[in-house]
Amino acid sequence: MGMMANIVCKTAGVAGMSALLYDAYSVGKVEARRVSEDMEADHYLKIHSSTRTLSTESEVQKALQKKVADFRMNTPFISTAGSIKGFTKGFLNSLGDNIIPAVCASVALAAKGLAAKIGAWGLAAYGLYIVAKEGFGFTKKSPMD
């Protein structure tokens, strides 16, 4: 394979992987925020509802329960766990949704010879398909139908 073809294949592979990873990172950030907010809301609801009841009418227990509830509501562990869970879910789902361009970009980047060319051409064909589908509505069903 010529030097120019090798450069073109590797460039296509790097561009494809960059676009995939950027998209996966962006989806991961959005999903991290959503899951974190959902987990915090559930956590706060449980804390709030548990502070509304006491087993006895003790002022000491009431004060203790209030202090523990304040501590539980101000701890960052739930938010952090939700962010990690959501980011991982969004990142991996995005990579799973884009498996075809990921394989083509990987082959174009890692392989040599004919396999690299096939990967680069596959990546180009997939890119043209996405432009036709998302840009021009090719094979895309209208929400009005």
Query: Along the 145 residues of the chain, how does pLDDT read in single tens digits?
Result: 688 988 999 999 999 999 999 999 999 999 999 999 999 999 888 888 877 777 777 788 888 888 888 888 888 888 899 999 999 999 999 999 999 999 999 999 999 889 999 999 999 999 999 999 888 888 777 777 6
Domain membership of residue 22 (yes or no) is: yes
CB 4 within 8 A of CB 79: no
Domain-embedded: residue 141: no
- Per-residue confidence (pLDDT) for residue 27, from 0 to 100: 96
What pTM value is reported for the model? 0.78
**In a domain? residue 8:** yes
Q: State the pLDDT at residue 1.
A: 62
Task: Evaluate whether residue 144 is within a structural domain.
Answer: no
What's the pLDDT score for residue 96? 93
**Predicted pLDDT at 33:** 96
Residue 103 in tokens: 């394989």
| CA atoms of 115 and 120, how far apart (whole Å) | 9
Residue with tokens 């990579």: 95
Dihedral sign (CA 111, 115, 120, 122): negative
State which residues form the domain around 28.
Answer: 3-136
- Is 15 a member of any domain? yes
Domain count for the chain: 1
